[in-house]
Every structure is written in structure tokens, then in C-alpha cells.
Structure 1
Amino acid sequence: MKKILTGAVAAIALVGIASPAAAQTNQRHYAGIVVGIPYTITNPGFLGTLAGEAGVAAQVGTRYTAVADAPSDSETATPTVTTTFNLTGSVNKDCSFYAGNNASATNIDFGVIGVRTGNNENVNNAFEMVGPAFANIETLTAGCNFNNEVSIQKNDVNGLVNAAPGGYDTDEFQANIPYSVSAAWTGVPVNTVTSGTGQSLAVSTSQLGNTIQQGAWRSNMTINFNAPAITNKGLVAGTYAGTTTLTLSAL
């Protein structure tokens, strides 16, 4: 028998397969010659094993076995693994308005508010305002990074008020100067995701204040004050003062 490895060289290949349900080697082979007749038995059952072992015991046959074993995966192998990473961070709500470098930047002085002082004025025109008073403010940096409210509030609905007017005929004079306020910027309505467009907020001469809600915005802002000329009454002499407060507040 040429297959019986007596005085021959056997090369054995060892193979490991890392894949699910890989079969493990368990081989048993018998071969021999009985009364001149060769035989082979491969992976026999119980009776075949008895016959093969009998041939080995009678020294008329031989046996070959190959058994291999290795522990299986510790867990079921997963060819594809998907992992989702949840990334989080936070940005604080903030509103900004550049109003100059010191408190004096927000002190708006109209100077002398001219009235008709000529002695040749008709009595119905004497001491009336010569023309409107106005002020313009512009900042290049304003806005909020979240839904927000823009608010303009005067301290007195009467506008600029003379706090020490003395006595006067109320039919002919007054001690206040009404004024309006308007602000303009580029933004979007509240809870709206779109390109910015022109936005505005106005407080009329008869209003104390007004508000508008916006989505996040950043742009320049202009604020205009306008005190129309009072032409039906004269102005009492003195200092006229008032305050207007602009508030940007994140919601």
C-alpha cells in the first residue's frame, strides 16, 4: 500500500478559519490486507471501528486519526458593528448693542430748541418752535443669538418735559415736547428660519413704548428721534428732558 506512511515523508497543513460554524477535524481511517485483499475504512461507525481495530490487533492493518479542537468565539461574531456617537455642547443666550465707549455717548443734546422770538412775530406765532428737533443714532453692532424681544420705552408719554416751568397760560403755552422714536435693522420674525430682511419698530408721539419679537439677528441698527414743531402753542422757557430706553432681551 503506497498510502501507508511507512518510510515516507508526510506534510501536514494546519489551517485555522475564523468564521461562524467552522467544522473541526475528526478523522479516522483504516487500511490493510486480509487474505491478499486490500481494504480501507474511512470514518467508520461502531462496527467499522471494531473491524478496523481487529485488523490493527491482528497486525494486518493500520490506522490513521486526526483530531483538532479549539474554543469557539466568546460571543456571537458580528461582521458589521454600528456605533452612534451623541455630540453635545451649549451656547449661552446673548444680546449685544454697541453704545459707544462711555456714558456720555448716550447723552443726546438738542442744544437750543429754537422758538419764534422776534418782536415782529404775530402774537399767534410768538414763542412757537421754529422747526422740528431730531436726532439720529447708528450702531454697527447689535443683535441677539436667540429668539428675542426688541423694546423701546419712553420715561414719559408727554415726551421731553420741562420740570420747572413756573406759571403759564395753558391755553397759550405748554411745557412738554412730544417726540417719536423709530428703530431699523436687518432681522427675521420670531421662530422664523429665513434670510434677514428690513425690520423696524416705531413709537409714535402719543405712545409710551412698543415692542416686537424677533428671531436671532445681527446687523447695524439706526434709531431716529423726531420732535415735530409745535405750532399751536408757545413753549415755556426752561430745560426739557426725557429718556428713551432700548432693550434687547433673549426670550
Structure 2
Amino acid sequence: MKKILTGAVAAIALVGIASPAAAQTNQRHYAGTAPIPYTITNPQPIPFFGNVGLVAGELGVALQVGTRYTAVADAPSDSETATPTVNVAFNLSGTVNKDCSFYAGNNSNATNIDFGVIGVRTGNNENVNNAFEMVGPAFANIETLTAGCNFNNEVKIAKNDAAGLVNQTASGYDTNQFQNNIPYTVSAAWTGVAFNAVTAGTPQSLTVGANSLDGTLQQGAWRSAMTIDFNAPAVTSKGLVAGNYTGTTTLTLKAL
């Protein structure tokens, strides 16, 4: 063995493997010359007295007829089970508040709709059955370019009186020949979708009839221009009592 090691260079390579886990070095080698040349490689370490190779190798060393080489390496294992692939999910969140919008001008005067003089037949040459009746229908149109809600919502139109425009100060009159109210219809039109629908918008409308108090329509989220038409057909069955005719119509857009 001495002749074999003469001039030999032993290069020791240190290797560390982070992942996956590998067996750590535990080498034991014996070689000797007596009574005949021998080598013993990695004899099983236990049990000692039942392991012939281990006993023989150690005996050769003790009798100074053999040699021994050992290499033992140890390092602590990973602190946790190694994970070659890591997935991290980032949950992003935020809140959009429910809102409904309707541009109704820049001041309260913009929503005061005045028909002016509602003409009646005042000629003294009118037949008695036509006297004091409305000359023609009264009409008003409102258009806003900004209206809508960003969630399921309800569009509601409500009059304050189903009778329409009412002369609250009318004095005595013959109810067979006169009346103190002017019925009117209200119609709103816009582009939207049905309640809970996820689809392209189409023309939508809501009408409250001449003798109705209110009406509602549920919608999905929408935004568009909206028109509102007021139409009071000419009252021709009776004459109108003189005075001021007033009424209030309320449009409500309500997110649900």
C-alpha cells in the first residue's frame, strides 16, 4: 500500500446540496497486507461483534498490519420541508359605492315647469257645449344627458295627485259643467337592461297614465340620456274653473 500512495495527491471535494435531501457521507475503508493483502469497504456498523468485516478491519489496525480510512459528514436538515415550487395568491379588494345620478340643471328653477296660460275657449260665439273647454293639449318635455344607477335599481314616477294638475282654490261651480283638474300622463324613456340582466342596453320606458298615481320599473345598472314627457290632453267634456292649476311629479332612481 505504501508504494500505491507514493506521490499520490488526494483531492477532497466538498459538496453541499440544498434540495432535495441527500444521504450524508459515512465512509469506512480498511486495507492490509497480512497475512495476505486485503480490503474491506463500508462494513455494516452494527452489531459490532456480528460484523466480520468490521471486526477484521479493526483487528488489522490493532495488530499494525492494516490501515483504516473514514469519512463522516454531517449538517442539519432543512428547518421545514423544502418546497421546490411556491404559489402565493394575492387577494385584491376594493369597494364601489352604490350611486344613482340625474342631472337636473344647476338650480331649483330648472325643475319648475310652467305651461303659462292654459287656453280655454273664451269666445262669445262658442257653442255653450264648448265654452271654457281647453283649446288644445298641454305638453312639456324634459331631457337630461346624464342619468342612471351603477347597481340593480328601481325607476319610479309618482304624482302627488292622481287627478293631475289641480286648481286648489276653485270656488263654487256646477260639477255637471265644470271641473277643477287637468289629468296628465308622464312617460320616461332611456337605455337600460332588465333587472339582474347582463346584456347590451335596449330602449326602456315607464309611463304613468292620466288617472294613475305612480309607476315603477326595476332595472339592472344603466347609464344614458333620459327624456320625460308630460302630456295633458285637452279637457273637452267640461269647462275648466279659472285659477292656478298645479301638480308635482317626482322621479326617483333608487339603487336596490
Same fold (TM over 0.5): yes
Q: Aligned-pair distance for 1:207?
A: 0.3
Q: Which residue of 2 aligns with 1:94?
A: 99
Partner-residue secondary structure (3-state), 1:56: helix
Report the Cα distance in structure 2 between the residues aligned to 1:41 and 1:250, rounded to whole angstroms: 88
Report the Cα distance in structure 2 between the residues aligned to 1:15 and 1:73, rounded to whole angstroms: 16
Matched, 1:161 2:166: yes
Gaps of 5+ in 2: 45-50
Q: Percent identity?
A: 80
Matched, 1:42 2:10: no
Report the Cα distance in structure 2 between the residues aligned to 1:51 and 1:4, rounded to whole angstroms: 22
Q: Which residue of 2 aligns with 1:70?
A: 75
Report the Cα distance in structure 2 between the residues aligned to 1:3 and 1:159, rounded to whole angstroms: 125
Report the Cα distance in structure 1 between the residues aligned to 2:164 and 2:213, rounded to whole angstroms: 9
CA deviations 1:43-102 (Å, max 9, x no partner) are 124322232223223332221111111111222222233333332221111111110000
Q: Which residue of 2 aligns with 1:215?
A: 220
Matched, 1:229 2:228: no
Partner-residue secondary structure (3-state), 1:51: helix
Q: Aligned-pair distance for 1:6?
A: 4.8
Q: Which residue of 2 aligns with 1:13?
A: 13
Report the Cα distance in structure 2 between the residues aligned to 1:76 and 1:3, rounded to whole angstroms: 48
Name the aligned partner's letter for residue 23 of structure 1.
A
Q: Which residue of 2 aligns with 1:145?
A: 150
Q: TM-score, normalised by structure 2?
A: 0.92
Matched, 1:29 2:29: yes
Report the Cα distance in structure 1 between the residues aligned to 2:66 and 2:199, rounded to whole angstroms: 91
Partner-residue secondary structure (3-state), 1:150: strand
Q: Aligned-pair distance for 1:163?
A: 1.4
* Aligned partner (choices 237, 242, 248) of residue 243 of structure 1: 248
Gaps of 5+ in 1: none
Partner-residue secondary structure (3-state), 1:181: strand
Partner-residue secondary structure (3-state), 2:151: coil
Partner-residue secondary structure (3-state), 2:191: strand
Q: TM-score, normalised by structure 1?
A: 0.94
Name the aligned partner's letter for residue 228 of structure 2.
I
Partner-residue secondary structure (3-state), 2:78: coil
* Aligned partner (choices 42, 62, 85) of residue 57 of structure 1: 62
Moved more, 222-231 or 72-81: 72-81
- Flag the 1:155–1:122 CA change in 2: closer, same or farther, 3 A: same
- Flag the 1:147–1:3 CA change in 2: closer, same or farther, 3 A: farther
Structural RMSD (CA): 1.6
Q: Aligned-pair distance for 1:21?
A: 4.0
* Aligned partner (choices 124, 129, 134) of residue 129 of structure 2: 124
Name the aligned partner's letter for residue 40 of structure 2.
I
Q: Which residue of 1 aligns with 2:47?
A: none
Name the aligned partner's letter for residue 33 of structure 1.
T
- Flag the 1:140–1:2 CA change in 2: closer, same or farther, 3 A: farther
* Aligned partner (choices 171, 177, 184) of residue 179 of structure 1: 184
Report the Cα distance in structure 2 between the residues aligned to 1:4 and 1:58, rounded to whole angstroms: 21
Partner-residue secondary structure (3-state), 2:186: strand
Q: Which residue of 2 aligns with 1:194?
A: 199
Q: Aligned-pair distance for 1:162?
A: 0.9
Report the Cα distance in structure 1 between the residues aligned to 2:3 and 2:196, rounded to whole angstroms: 87
Moved more, 137-146 or 117-126: 117-126
Moved more, 141-150 or 11-20: 11-20
CA deviations 1:158-205 (Å, max 9, x no partner) are 111111122211111111111000000111111111111111110111
